[in-house]
């Protein structure tokens, strides 16, 4: 069966089947959470340095600890969703993430570390619960654009939250910003608890750790899940390296912080447009073709950055394109899972894939930092070319027919 033949054509759905209203509640709640969360991460690093006097290596250790806690929470997220339902996993995630805003009221190292670990766990629960909720809500015809809007809600939240946070901290200090963040977290939790539709996507039977571990092992044995791990992990290695190295190299070459800021802003705008385009194309023609296009762009940008690593213009242009392609793949992830994995396995699958993302982000940053010492363009070449393998994985994944719907639609629940 050919790649195109196997990729199901997506027809526009009637409005009653698209489940837009509960999806919009999820998107607005996620945006509110990121108005608080995205600037919190950026200013948390400054808080640790300026207020607690911590060294960069200690700060990096705390941040890595949060990522590790998030990895564990992501793996447990599937079992929690099966027991509580995706709505209440989202609510719990918002609650735990909101608790982390108390770090700006603390000056003890261990309290700050503990709260950051709690926040990392909450962020992963939001990811697993939100992903499962979205794919369960959305029939195939609208999933791509809903996934793009869901991803864009995070971007919009950060764009709104950063200037607000900067003004609050500049005028009133970190403590005031922390209390405002806590208030916003309470609003987010109440919004999700009150207005998110309960999909009843849970079992009344307790999920034991033994059974949970067995389910993860069963997932890992599935060929489609193994392919998804590669599809998710290989571009994340590249993306994790890009996010660290490109701003540093642009700053080294230009010596101009405005240029670095312009790169960040341009990346944000172009990546947002790319996400919407990828979601729309996936709804119209299926996810296989935009997936292959995105991987191809990653490969081309890797070659371009290898050749242009000593040029600000080369780093700027190819870096922006690489970030846009990586973000497009993040949107298409929801469609991949919907196409190849039974709905009852979505929570555990998203948890596993988020754990893969966390580990590959760390791995890409570390590997890029090691390779760049040999020659500036080498990490882009090496980690860009690994996406050739991802292209083959995508072709294999879409040789099989998409999985049939095995769960009832939200309207029948």
> Domains of the chain (ranges plus CATH)?
1-198 (1.20.1250.20), 222-406 (1.20.1250.20)
**In the prediction, which pLDDT does 327 show?**
92
DSSP letter string over 55-102?
A: -HHHHHHHHHHHHHHHHHHHHHHHHHHHHH-HHHHHHHHHHHHHHGGG
Compute, in degrees rounded to 10, the torsion defined by CA atoms 296, 301, 307, 310.
-170
**In the prediction, which pLDDT does 56 show?**
64
**In the prediction, which pLDDT does 203 show?**
58
Collect the ranges in the chain with pLDDT lower than 50: 1-18, 140, 404-413
Backbone φ and ψ of 388, nearest 5°: -60, -40
Residue 13, by phi and psi: left (phi above 0), alpha (psi -120 to 50) or beta?
beta
**In the prediction, which pLDDT does 79 show?**
79
**In the prediction, which pLDDT does 383 show?**
95
Q: How far apart are CA 270 and CA 266, in angstroms?
A: 6
Cβ atoms of residues 23 and 134 within 8 Å: yes
Q: How many helices (H) and strands (E) in the chain?
A: 16, 0
User: Who's near 338: CB < 8 A, 6+ residues apart?
Assistant: 135, 138, 140, 143, 346, 402, 403
Q: How far apart are CA 304 and CA 144, in angstroms?
A: 29
**In the prediction, which pLDDT does 214 show?**
56
**In the prediction, which pLDDT does 156 show?**
82
**In the prediction, which pLDDT does 213 show?**
57
Cβ atoms of residues 305 and 384 within 8 Å: yes
Q: How many residues does the chain have?
A: 413
**In the prediction, which pLDDT does 197 show?**
86
pLDDT tens digits for range 94-136: 999 999 999 999 988 999 999 999 999 999 899 989 888 888 8
The Cβ of residue 217 has, within 10 Å, a number of other Cβ atoms equal to 9
């Amino acid at each position: 069966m050919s790649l195109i033949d196997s990729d199901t054509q997506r027809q526009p759905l009637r409005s009653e089947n698209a489940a837009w209203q509960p999806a919009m509640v999820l998107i607005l709640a996620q945006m509110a959470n990121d108005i608080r969360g995205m600037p919190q991460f950026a200013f948390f690093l400054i808080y640790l340095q300026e207020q607690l006097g911590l060294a960069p290596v200690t700060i990096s250790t705390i941040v890595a600890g949060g990522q590790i806690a998030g990895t564990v929470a992501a793996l447990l997220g599937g079992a929690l969703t099966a027991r509580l339902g995706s709505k209440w996993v989202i609510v719990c995630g918002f609650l735990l993430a909101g608790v982390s805003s108390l770090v700006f009221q603390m000056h003890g190292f261990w309290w700050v570390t503990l709260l950051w670990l709690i926040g990392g766990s909450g962020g992963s629960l939001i990811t697993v619960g939100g992903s499962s909720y979205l794919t369960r809500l959305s029939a195939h015809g609208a999933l791509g654009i809903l996934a793009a809007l869901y991803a864009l809600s995070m971007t919009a939240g950060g764009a709104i939250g950063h200037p607000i946070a900067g003004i609050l901290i500049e005028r009133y200090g970190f403590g005031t910003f922390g209390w405002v963040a806590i208030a916003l977290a309470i609003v987010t939790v109440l919004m999700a608890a009150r207005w998110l539709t309960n999909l009843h996507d849970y079992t009344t039977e307790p999920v034991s750790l033994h059974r949970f571990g067995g389910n993860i092992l069963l997932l890992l044995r599935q060929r489609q899940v193994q392919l998804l791990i590669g599809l998710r992990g290989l571009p994340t290695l590249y993306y994790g390296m890009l996010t660290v190295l490109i701003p540093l190299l642009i700053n080294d070459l230009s010596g101009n912080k405005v240029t670095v800021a312009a790169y960040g802003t341009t990346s944000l705008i172009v990546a947002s447009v790319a996400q919407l385009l990828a979601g729309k194309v996936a709804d119209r023609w299926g996810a296989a073709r935009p997936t292959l296009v995105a991987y191809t762009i990653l490969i081309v940008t890797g070659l371009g950055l290898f050749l242009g690593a000593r040029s600000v213009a080369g780093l700027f242009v190819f870096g922006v394109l690489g970030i846009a392609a990586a973000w497009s793949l993040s949107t298409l992830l929801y469609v991949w899972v919907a196409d190849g994995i039974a709905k009852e396995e979505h929570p555990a699958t998203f948890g596993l894939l988020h754990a893969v993302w966390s580990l590959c982000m760390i791995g890409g940053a570390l590997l890029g930092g090691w390779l760049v010492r040999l020659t500036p363009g080498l990490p882009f070449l090496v980690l860009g070319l690994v996406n050739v393998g991802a292209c083959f994985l995508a072709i294999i994944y879409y040789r099989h027919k998409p999985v049939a719907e095995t769960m009832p639609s939200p309207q029948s629940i």
